Amino acid sequence: MTTIDDTINQWLRDAHAMEEQAEQMLESQSSRIENYPELAARIKRHLEETQSQLERLERCLERRGAATSAMKDLTAKASAMMQGLSSMMAGDEVMKGALASYAFEQFEIASYRILITAAETAGDIETARLCEEICREEEAMAADLADMIPELTRSYLTRENADLDEAKR
């Protein structure tokens, strides 16, 4: 029979795999958005946060007597790689990347809120505190992306229009 602690450990492994996927997605995006410096800088900063989140989750799992799941981590990285490759084929890659990133941030936020509640229910205040900390970082990234989307869209459309004008000449 599965205990609450077993479930929390499973969800922490899932969170670790999710952050592995995020790291791969962010690395893929950051290498191809040089025309969008504000977005590139924010993605770079969130990549550093994500790498820190991975380390913190590993320490949390270790403290709880559990380990990461190599299979889940590998599957998550492969999924992110496939998404990156499919986005590269789209002419509006930066817009699709912004959309995917915003949606993924919301997924992460919900995952950490679940973990916070589970940890609090189990009386594991340290895990709850860690997940709250990470959740705040994810919420900040989601808010920044939401704030950037209008200008990113205008910038993309301006570039796209300029490219069409150039092609007509």
**C-beta of residue 98 within 8 angstroms of C-beta of residue 148:** yes
| pLDDT value of position 74 | 60
Encode pLDDT of 132-161 as tens digits. 999 999 999 999 999 999 999 999 999 887
The CATH number of the structural domain formed by 4-168 is 1.20.1260.10
The pTM of the full predicted model, rounded to 2 decimals, is 0.87
Domain coordinates in residue numbering, the chain: 4-168
Cα separation, 127 vs 148, whole angstroms: 32
| pLDDT value of position 22 | 94
Q: How far is CA 97 from CA 64, 110, 134, 162, in A?
A: 35, 20, 22, 21
**C-beta of residue 109 within 8 angstroms of C-beta of residue 142:** yes
- Judged on CB neighbours under 10 Å (0-12, 13-18, 19+), 31 is exposed
